[in-house]
């Protein structure tokens, strides 16, 4: 990707109007995803995003995507749906080949000792994995076009208007919820379900107490192999844009032993969840069969279902990448006398030059520890850091906190709750989260699930009916409002708030 010498300040001056995500992150991590969504996306989709840009300071990132192009991509997908779904399915099938190659490479790297590679072999493997990572994201970012913010969700409104013109028996809001809630499990919930299934098998063989792992390997090789497969499938589960690790087999086995030791109707719990999934899908199919939806609306619904799951799979690919990137950065940096943390302030091309002895990289790292602004376009990328980045950061700082008592958004999971707000911006905030608090965040990602389970309700700034917060809150049956735009500015930790997701209103009380 070509390095650019500038990025327009007038574009950055409009930051308040753009699609914004906020989270704890590292430069390398977020830059890699930005390159995928804008630069690589432009190579496979006819209507690309014109730019994204990002501010990172104190490990907190504010990431902006070209809102105008986001809408254009969505409109293109929807308009093409008048002719069918093949325009999306064709790209999905091509992506599946890229995805399979990426996952195969990831599995080969899982237990590979990078320390045994020569410098040339190490950089070669790093470049290969990075390019596969870009390919595993690229077309999948089509799914982001179905996101929305504000008091209404365009997808919900489209189908609400369609239902209004039909003679429908039953609660229209309930029918709408079923239509827009595909029955797949997000990968965090899926992992728990799969582990519960393993616990049933292990308890049938060993009862409530499992043996030492070495004994298990010797006595029950089939069960041991099933544990290995689970680990191979989910070793990246603890990751996010800031944290990267590889979960060990021992860690998964400890969780499994805990489940088995509890011995609380494991088989019944597993079968109940299976029935719930099956019953929901049958109910959804029955609703679809009884609705006189035209072909266009059925096509949009099919695409929406695909995008909801596709986005979740793509997100898992990001987390897979984080584990391996951390290993590569540690090994490459170690050979050059640079810490892994310092390596995370570099972008791909710079990492490839570390072993060449380029000492200017150390100056770049030092400046970026203060603050960094970068932009990615289909033509290339721009990076500026330290005091030189002030001309960009001034536009971010001009955004004032909103002094409001009531917010409106989209009710993604209906219900009502009252509680104390906990604004989540980092892993440290998650650790402090208490049962019954109101979770307020820019958005939720898979690493939020443990705290989402404790929450009385969830309020996010970003989202759409197919967003992570919407999908998981429905799975957990927790009231959730999405797309409020300013929740983390309007509400502070400690505020007492009432959330009425049925009306899409969250207010201080």
- Greatest CA separation for the chain: 72
The domain boundary, picked from 366, 397, 428, lies at: 397
> What is the structure's pLDDT at 264?
73
> What is the structure's pLDDT at 150?
57
459 lies in some domain: yes
* Pair (58, 103) in one structural domain: yes
Nearest 5°: CA angle at 288, between 287 and 292? 105
The domain boundary, picked from 226, 247, 277, lies at: 277
Distances (CA, A) of 124 to 2, 173, 178, 414, 476: 20, 54, 48, 50, 44
The domain boundary, picked from 397, 414, 444, lies at: 397
Task: Show the 3-state SS of 372-388.
Answer: EEEEEECCEEEEEEHHH
* Pair (91, 132) in one structural domain: yes
* Pair (386, 419) in one structural domain: no
Across the beta sheet with 410-413, what order do the strands follow? 406-408, 505-508, 496-500, 416-423, 438-441, 457-460, 480-482, 410-413
> What is the structure's pLDDT at 148?
67
* Pair (350, 433) in one structural domain: no
* Pair (352, 259) in one structural domain: no
> What is the structure's pLDDT at 86?
95
pTM over 0.85: yes
For each of the chain's 509 residues, which pLDDT tens digit applies? 999 999 999 999 987 667 688 888 999 999 999 999 999 999 999 999 999 999 999 888 999 999 889 999 999 999 999 999 999 999 999 999 999 999 999 999 998 999 999 999 999 999 999 999 999 999 999 998 887 655 678 888 899 999 999 888 888 888 888 888 877 788 888 999 999 999 999 999 999 999 999 999 999 999 999 999 999 999 999 888 888 889 999 999 999 999 999 877 899 999 998 998 899 899 999 999 989 999 999 999 999 999 989 998 999 999 999 999 999 999 999 999 999 999 999 999 999 999 998 888 999 999 999 999 999 999 999 999 999 999 999 988 765 555 788 999 888 898 999 999 999 988 889 999 999 999 999 889 888 999 999 999 999 988 777 788 988 898 889 999 998 888 998 999 999 999 999 899 999 99
436 lies in some domain: yes
160 lies in some domain: no
78 lies in some domain: yes
175 lies in some domain: no
* Pair (117, 228) in one structural domain: no
- Of the candidates 160, 140, 156, the one whose C-alpha atom is nearest the C-alpha of residue 148 is 156
456: domain range? 406-508
- Give the Cα separation of 289 and 255 in Å (integer): 42
166 lies in some domain: no
> What is the structure's pLDDT at 402?
58
- Give the Cα separation of 177 and 187 in Å (integer): 21
- Give the Cα separation of 77 and 82 in Å (integer): 9
* Pair (23, 93) in one structural domain: yes
472 lies in some domain: yes
* Pair (344, 435) in one structural domain: no
Three-class SS state of 207 = coil
> What is the structure's pLDDT at 307?
93
* Pair (411, 393) in one structural domain: no
Number of domains in the chain: 3
What CATH number is given to the structural domain containing 497?
A: 3.50.30.10
* Pair (386, 410) in one structural domain: no
* Pair (351, 470) in one structural domain: no
Three-class SS state of 200 = helix
* Pair (52, 119) in one structural domain: yes
282 lies in some domain: no
């Amino acid at each position: 990707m070509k390095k650019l010498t500038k990025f327009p300040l007038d574009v950055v001056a409009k930051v308040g109007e753009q699609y914004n995500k906020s989270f704890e992150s590292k430069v390398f991590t977020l830059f890699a995803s930005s390159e995928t969504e804008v630069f690589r996306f432009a190579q496979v989709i006819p209507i690309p995003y014109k730019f994204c840009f990002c501010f990172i300071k104190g490990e907190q990132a504010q990431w902006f995507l070209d809102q105008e192009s986001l809408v254009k991509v969505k409109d293109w997908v929807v308009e093409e749906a008048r002719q069918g779904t093949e325009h999306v399915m064709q790209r999905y099938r091509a992506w599946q080949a890229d995805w399979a190659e990426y996952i195969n490479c990831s599995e080969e790297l899982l237990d590979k000792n990078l320390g045994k590679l020569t410098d040339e072999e190490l950089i070669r493997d790093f470049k290969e994995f990075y390019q596969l990572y870009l390919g595993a994201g690229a077309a999948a970012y089509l799914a982001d076009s179905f996101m929305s913010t504000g008091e209404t969700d365009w997808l919900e409104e489209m189908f609400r208007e369609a239902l209004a013109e039909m003679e429908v028996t039953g609660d229209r809001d309930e029918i709408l919820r079923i239509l827009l809630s595909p029955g797949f499990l997000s990968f965090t919930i899926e992992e728990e379900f799969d582990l519960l299934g393993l616990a049933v098998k292990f308890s049938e063989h060993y009862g409530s107490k499992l043996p030492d792992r070495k004994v298990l390997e010797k006595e029950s090789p089939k069960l041991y192999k099933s544990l290995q497969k689970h680990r191979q499938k989910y070793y990246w589960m603890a990751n996010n844009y800031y944290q990267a690790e590889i979960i060990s087999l021992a860690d998964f086995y400890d969780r499994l032993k805990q489940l088995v030791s509890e011995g609380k109707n494991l088989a019944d719990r597993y079968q109940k969840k299976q029935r719930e999934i099956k019953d929901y899908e049958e109910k959804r199919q029955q609703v679809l069969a009884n609705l006189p939806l035209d072909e266009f609306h059925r096509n949009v619904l099919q695409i929406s279902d695909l995008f909801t799951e596709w986005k979740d799979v793509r997100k898992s690919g990001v987390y897979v990448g984080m584990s391996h990137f951390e290993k590569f950065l540690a090994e490459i940096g170690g050979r050059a006398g640079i810490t892994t943390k310092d390596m995370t302030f570099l972008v791909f091309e710079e990492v490839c030059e570390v072993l060449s002895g380029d000492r200017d990289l150390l100056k770049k790292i030092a400046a970026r520890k203060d603050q960094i602004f970068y932009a990615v376009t289909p033509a290339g990328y721009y990076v500026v850091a330290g005091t030189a980045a002030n001309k960009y950061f001034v536009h971010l700082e001009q955004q004032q906190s909103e002094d409001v008592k009531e917010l409106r958004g989209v009710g993604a999971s209906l219900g009502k709750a009252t509680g104390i707000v906990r604004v989540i911006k980092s892993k440290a905030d998650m650790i402090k989260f208490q049962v019954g608090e109101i979770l307020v965040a820019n958005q939720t990602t898979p690493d939020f699930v443990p705290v989402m389970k404790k929450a009385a309700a969830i309020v996010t700034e970003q989202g759409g009916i197919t967003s992570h917060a919407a999908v998981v809150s429905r799975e957990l049956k927790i009231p959730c409002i999405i797309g409020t735009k300013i929740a983390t500015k309007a509400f502070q930790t400690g505020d007492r708030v009432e959330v009425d997701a049925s009306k899409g209103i969250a207010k201080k009380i």
